[in-house]
Amino acid sequence: MDAAASTWGRRGLATFYGLLAAFLYVPIVVLMIFSFNDSVLVAFPLSGFTTRWYRQLLENEQLLTALRSSFVIAAVSSVLAVVLGVLASYAVVRRRFVAKGAVTALLLSPLVLPYLVFGITLLILFRAVDSFLIPRVGIYFGLGTHAIVIGHAVVSLPYTILTVVPRLERLSTDVEEAARDLGASPRSSFRRVTLPLLAPAVLSAYLIAFTLSFDEYAIASFIAGDVTTYPLYLYGQVRIRIGLPQMIAISVIVLVLSLLVVVLVEVYRRRAERRLDVGLPSG
Amino acid sequence: MRDRVRTWPGTVALLSGPVLWLVLFLIVPLFIVAGYSIGALSLFPTDTGPSLYDWRRFLTGSSVYMSLFWKSVQMSLVVSVIVVLLAYPVGYYLALVARRRKYVLLLLIIAPFLTSYLLRVLAWRVILGAEGVINTLLSSVGLRDEGDPVNWLIYSRFTVVLVLVYVWVPFVALPIFVTLENLEASILEAGADLGGPRWSIFWRVTLPLSLPGVGAAFVFVFIPTIGEFVTPSLVGGTSGLMYGNAISELFLKSLDWQTGSVLALFLVGVVAILMTISARFAQIKAVESP
Amino acid sequence: MGMGAHTGGPSLRLDRRDFLRAAGVMAGSGVLVACKSASSSSSTPATSGSSSSASRPPIAEEAGDLRIYEWLGYGDGSYGDDVLWAEYKDKGYPKPKFTKTFDDDAGYTKVAAGERWDIVHPCGYRFGDWVALQNADGSPVMQPWDTSLIPNFADLNQSLQAAGQFNGEQYFIVADWGFAAPMYRADMIESPEESWGILFDETYEGRISWWDSLNMFVVAGYYNGVANPWAMTDEELDAQQEFLISKVPLVRTFWVDDPTPDLVNGDVWVAYAWPNHWWAAVDYGSGKGPDVVYMNPKEGMTSWYCGFALFADTANYHHAHEYVDSWASTASAEWLINNYAYGHTNTALDLSTVNQQLVSTFSLDDPTVLEEPNSHVEVPIERRDVYEERWLEVKAAG
């Protein structure tokens, strides 16, 4: 007997899922429709089919540059967030130390700070650093890509920790101990045993951080300096009506691409974890 | 010797990177905000020194901001409850019913998350507007007359709740799914042991065990939504002013950084307290080495 | 401009307001009339920061990497608007880097917090605030222009340039201006009274759109007959606030960027709007869009103006002047009017090259269109923070 649900229960839940999924996709479908609509106005009635928005955005230098900037920023800040996150997760899960509650709270605290406020204070911080450095050493920190990378690495950190910790908890320490018993140094046992076991979770954490950074607007709007990120460009274009259809088209492309990536990664992750976990003591 | 080996790398080595990072780029900025909130720092040179005037003004409710805070809390509560109520059956279905295809189905509902947030909100404007999808459908089917569209769909509190629920459900379904997936084995055991109606298994085993995860998911929505202001301002019409809007306007329009900082710090404080209380529901536990 | 004519500012207001009114009355030279001689004689051109330009490196030694904080769609090339600085481009100078914005206040905040550019393009309501900005060491953040380096300056409407003068120096080259008035769907609303009251009329309950700005107080002031809505006393503000709060239930939404989509959709029938909103709604005069009318209310339209300002620490002094000069040209004026339905301060423009529908709607050929009581040129509000807080309270009542 299926402990989870009766036949009617199964059907009811499946219907519920179907309705909810439909609800979630209605705006997506609407966006897709309008990405082919032959009019600048995003409103009914429809004006005919066209692919010109897709063609136009391929020639849109500003948009392509913005996408590139966002990609770089997301890639780099996510690496930072994941590295710091893995270190922190390891400490939280495998170590005992004083004031663990307080440290955990600190590590998760970026979740609670409004991005708007965070962006402003980072701006002030960087300018203060500059006004200190410039007269003394002649160099400056400035705003731009590196500033946004720092900001995003801060706000992504809790998410990476929240992704890696559960996986780390499920991993028993027995395997690492076994490796060490067999003579591996702690460093190499971490590298050759723990890290590969963690790899799928690390990859997920990276993706989450990447997605967050790629779509992040508030913080970037303050510390971007001369750089335009994709969300900044998007928000700007949405406000002048002429730019809107192109933005819809690019977001459809981004959606399809990220869907592909996420599907592939998740498939890999689940297969990898299942393979890696086979033969491990349960616990 | 075994103990020393077991504690490599040292706790300090592990934590120094993340903690330093956060202290430098999070704690220091928070102190700056605190400085602004009491007037110790200010945007333009002023004659007045530090004072708690703006704190007092805010906390005693003599300005409009405190009522905005409660308005936002209330809105966030409504949204969070609805989101959890909707996400739970989905998580349940995926984790415990649709066993083989659960990951695909899960990804399917997370995918919309990958489109730009702003565009998803704007799409709702198109759907709910006077000449939008719903109204066009209603009038073509004959349920409503032409030129008499349903007005409360857009630019109302209903819209704000609807769009926020829309944005959050996929995000919340994930932790609930993970929680229930972890419980799968226990539930099957309970089923085998207890026998009896499935309803009572759910009520006596599944629900209580999943409550911590659900609680965490609730907090996960509730906290950021208190400060949410983009969606309310885009689709909320005249009822769309929230606490977050006030903070944004104070910083960017009135340039009253003192009051803005007070509001921001208050939000941070409230949320910090909420997070601490719910920390017991979070899945971070110390693992004792055997 | 893109979006955001607000009003406000501290100190020097009183002097400038009177001066502005006097200059406006004196001008008689009109706004866009091809009367170069008349306009240049109306008021003394500001003294240039001449001593500073003499000591600056010549243009050949400048890097030329202009950084401009500019309204979206005002030269960044969003949709052909780089015509606005075509002459600069034709002279072969490197393309400027634009930091795009749709928010005047956000730019001011960023500069106050320490960001710098070469040129910025704020609107009149905060001119005084910009001039008053100081670095940590007390030196000013902005510097005046040297109008001798801007050949087109002589053609510009001098009364509006006077609004950009502080301490006898030309801190702002005022280039663009425009109106604010109600616009409405003529197919939904038949021959309404030409008054600001349309925004407060119960007949259109749930179909009204206000601008999300304290300027609604000014509008309410003009509608209710307040003597000077730009400088109301606390009692007057109380009365207007009560009035506005009582009318909020009639309002559908407060628009931030653009009331046009809602108007075209039929979600609202009447909105506070700038000329570019109306022009877009009627599809740039093509006759294709819905029937939208830009009203000239009997209490008078309000108008705003924006201008270029120069940062004191710029390394591209001469390039900046060249850029502003090309923006001030008649070619730019023509493009701006035809595409935004705004006004441009270049009085040498031949109006026959401009879309005649615009000329007639906004009386661009009438020299007195910007004078009282035909319309009310924006006056920076001294107690802007008071207005701002009261506006927030009005919104919170929704």
Domains observed in chain B: 63-281 (1.10.3720.10)
C266 touches chain B (CB under 8 A): yes
| Residue A223 structural domain | 60-277
| Range with the largest mean pLDDT of A108-122, A202-216, B8-22 | A202-216
Q: Do B238 and C265 touch (CB under 8 A)?
A: no
CATH number for the domain spanning A202: value is 1.10.3720.10
Answer yes or no: do C185 and C308 share one domain. no
- Looking at the DSSP assignment, which residues form a beta bridge with residue C375? C301
Kindly state whether residue C4 falls inside one of the protein's structural domains. no
A10 shares contact with chain B (CB less than 8 Å)? yes
Q: What is the mean pLDDT of residues C350-354?
A: 87
pLDDT score, position C21: 32
The angle subtended at Cα B220 by Cα B216 and Cα B222, nearest 5°, is: 110
B241 touches chain C (CB under 8 A): yes
Banded pLDDT at C55 (limits 50, 70, 90): low
Would you call C290 an interface residue with chain A, using a CB distance cutoff of 8 Å? no
Considering only residues C18 and C301, tell me which one the structure prediction assigns the higher pLDDT: C301
CB of C257 within 8 Å of a chain B CB? The answer is no
Whole-number percent of chain A with pLDDT over 90 = 19
Q: Are residues C170 and C307 in the same domain?
A: yes
For residue C3, tell me if it sits in a domain: no
Name which residue leads in pLDDT, C17 or C192.
Answer: C192
Q: What is the mean pLDDT of chain C?
A: 82
Q: Measured between CA atoms, how close is B140 to chain A, in angstroms?
A: 13
* Whether C115 contacts A123, CB under 8 Å: yes
Interface residue ranges in chain A relative to chain C, Cβ cutoff 8 Å: 41-43, 62, 120, 123-124, 127-128, 130-131, 143, 221-222, 225-226, 228, 236-237, 239-243
Judge whether B158 is closer than 8 Å to chain C, CB to CB: no
A27 contacts B112? CB cut-off 8 A: yes
- pLDDT score of B39: 84
- For residue C301, CA distances in Å to B38, C29, C296 come to 42, 20, 6
* Cα of A52 vs its chain's centroid, Å: 30
In the complex, which subunits touch B with 3 or more CB pairs below 8 angstroms? A, C
Q: In this predicted structure, what is the pLDDT of residue B230?
A: 81
Specify if A145 maps to a domain.
yes
User: What's the CA gap between B84 and B165, in Å, rounded?
Assistant: 9
Of the listed ranges B178-192, C173-187, C231-245, the one predicted with least confidence: B178-192
Give a yes or no: residue A14 inside a domain: no
User: Do C315 and C346 share a domain, yes or no?
Assistant: yes
Q: Is A129 on the interface with B (CB under 8 A)?
A: no
Chosen from A1, A29, A30 to mutate, greatest number of chain B CBs within 10 A = A30
Q: What pairs with residue C185 in β-bridges?
A: C292
Look up residue A87 and give its two tokens.
Answer: 């270190």
Whether chain A has a CB inside 8 Å of the CB on C261: the answer is yes
Q: Tell which wins on pLDDT, C283 or C184.
A: C184
Number of residue pairs across A and C with CB atoms under 8 Å?
55
pLDDT interval class at B110 (50, 70, 90): confident
Q: What is the C-alpha to C-alpha distance for residues C343 and C358, in angstroms, rounded to an integer?
A: 10
C19 and C140, same domain (yes or no)? yes
C260 touches chain A (CB under 8 A): yes
Which positions in chain B touch A151 (Cβ < 8 Å)? Answer: 25
Regarding whether C193 and C59 lie in a shared domain, the answer is no
Residue C212 lies in a domain: yes
Sequence-separated (6 or more) residues with CB below 8 Å from residue C339: C80, C81, C279, C284
Which residue of A lies nearest to C2 if distances are taken between CA atoms? A240
More confident residue, B286 or C268: C268
CB < 8 Å to B111, chain A: 255, 258-259, 262
Instruction: Answer yes or no: is A282 within a domain.
Output: no
Which positions 229-248 of C are in contact with B (Cβ < 8 Å)?
248
Q: Which residues of A174-188 are buried (b: 16+ CB within 10 A; e: fewer)?
A: ebbbebbeeebebee
> How confident is the model over A57-79, as a mean pLDDT?
91
pLDDT at C40: 34
Among B247, B123, C264, B162, CA closest to A238: B123
C110-132 pLDDT per residue, tens: 888 778 899 999 999 999 999 99
Residue-level pLDDT at A8: 81
How many C-beta atoms surround the C-beta of residue A8 within 10 A?
A: 8
Q: Of A60, A120, A123, A239, which to mutate for an interface test with C (greatest number of C Cβ within 10 Å)?
A: A239
Report, as an integer, the average pLDDT of B15-32.
88
Q: How confident is the model at residue B277 (pLDDT cuts 50, 70, 90)?
A: confident
In this structure, the answer to whether residues C62 and C159 fall within a common structural domain is yes
| DSSP string for C115-179 | ---SEE--BGGGHHHHHH-B-TTS-BSEE---GGG-GGGGGB-HHHHHTTEETTEE-EEEEEEEE
- Tell me, yes or no, whether A16 lies in a domain: no
Q: Which residues of B touch C112 (CB under 8 A)?
A: 43-44, 255
Q: Does B43 touch chain C (CB under 8 A)?
A: yes
Q: Which residues, 6+ apart, have CB-to-CB distance to A246 below 8 Å?
A: A53, A56, A57, A60, A63, A237
**Looking at residue B7, what is its pLDDT?**
56
CA distances from B98 to B188, B205, B209 (A): 15, 20, 20
pLDDT category at B216 given cuts 50, 70, 90 is: confident
Query: Using CA atoms in the order C258, C261, C263, C264, what is the torsion angle rounded to 10 degrees?
Result: 150
Q: What is the pLDDT of residue C5?
A: 33
Residue B184: pLDDT over 50: yes
**Contact assignment for C266 to B130 by CB distance below 8 Å:** yes
Is B14's pLDDT higher than 70?
A: yes
Give the total number of structural domains in chain C. 2
Of B149, B241, B252, the CB nearest to C398: B241
B221 to chain A, closest Cα gap in Å: 11
Q: How many domains does chain A have?
A: 1
Nearest CA in chain C to B156: C252
**How far is it, in rounded angstroms, from Cα B256 to Cα B260?**
6
Least confident window among A84-88, C53-57, C106-110, C139-143: C53-57
| C328/C270 same-domain check | no
For A186-213, what is the mean pLDDT? 82
B94 contacts on A by Cβ (under 8 Å): 17
Whether C137 is in a domain gets the answer yes
Mean pLDDT score, B88-98: 87
| Contact of A122 with C108, CB cutoff 8 Å | no
- One domain for residues C229 and C291: yes
Of the pLDDT bands very low, low, confident and very high (cuts 50, 70, 90), residue B285 is: very low
- A11-62: per-residue pLDDT in tens? 889 999 999 999 999 888 888 888 898 887 777 778 888 888 888 888 888 8
> Which range, of A179-188, B20-29, B226-235, C369-378, averages the lowest pLDDT?
A179-188
Q: Are residues C206 and C85 in the same domain?
A: no
| C288 and C325 housed in the same domain | no
Among the partner-chain residues B68, B149, B233, the one whose CB lies closest to the CB of C396 is B68
Non-local CB neighbours of C330 within 8 Å, separated by 6+ positions: C155, C346, C348, C349, C350
Which band of pLDDT confidence, cut at 50, 70 and 90, is reported for residue C18? very low
Residue A264 has pLDDT above 60, yes or no: yes
Q: What are phi and psi of A148, to 5 degrees?
A: -65, -40
Average pLDDT over residues B107-122: 82
C8 domain-assigned: no
State the pLDDT at residue C275: 93
Mutate to test the interface with B, among A15, A24, A269 (most CBs of B within 10 A): A24
Phi then psi dihedrals of residue A85, to 5 deg:
-65, -40
Q: Of the ranges A127-131, A274-278, C120-124, C194-198, which one carries the lowest mean pLDDT score?
A: A274-278
**C217 lies in the same domain as C338:** no
Tokens of B169: 């459900």
C chain contacts of residue A221, beta-carbon cutoff 8 Å: 106
Mean pLDDT for C146-155 is: 92
Domain CATH code at residue C270: 3.40.190.10
pLDDT in tens, C76-96: 777 777 888 988 988 888 889
Cα–Cα distance measured from residue B47 to residue B70, given in angstroms and rounded to the nearest whole number: 34
Are residues A3 and B268, on separate chains, in Cβ contact within 8 Å?
Answer: no
Q: Is the pLDDT of residue B2 over 60?
A: no
* CB contact (8 A) between residue C385 and residue B240: no
Q: Please tell me if residue C258 touches chain A, with a CB cutoff of 8 Å.
A: yes
**For chain C, how big is the Rg over CA atoms in Å?**
21
Domain that holds residue C249: 180-300+382-396
Q: CA of A124 to nearest chain C CA: how many angstroms apart? A: 6
Question: What's the DSSP call for residue B95?
Answer: I
How confident is the model at residue B9, as a pLDDT? Answer: 66
Q: pLDDT tens digits for C229-241? A: 999 999 999 999 9
* Overall average pLDDT of the A157-181 stretch: 81
* Nearest beta carbon to residue B5 from set A24, A153, A186: A186
pLDDT tens, residue by residue, B131-156: 788 888 888 888 877 767 788 888 88
For testing the chain C interface, which of B254, B257, B258, B263 should be mutated: the one with the most C CBs within 10 Å?
B254
Q: Do A31 and B119 touch (CB under 8 A)?
A: yes
Q: In the prediction, which pLDDT does C54 show?
A: 54
Q: Say if strands C119-120 and C67-71 run parallel, antiparallel, or are unpaired.
A: parallel
Inform me whether the pLDDT recorded for C144 exceeds 90: yes
With a cut of 80, say whether residue B57 has pLDDT above it.
yes
Q: Which residues of chain A make contact with C102, given a CB cutoff of 8 A?
A: 236, 239
SS3 C253: strand
Lowest mean pLDDT among A75-84, A161-170, A207-216: A161-170
Q: Percentage of chain B surpassing pLDDT 70?
A: 91
Give the C-alpha separation, C337 to C275, whole Å: 10
The shortest C-alpha distance from C19 to chain B (Å) reads 27
Does some domain include residue A34?
no
Task: Tell me the pLDDT band of A240, cut-offs 50, 70 and 90.
Answer: low
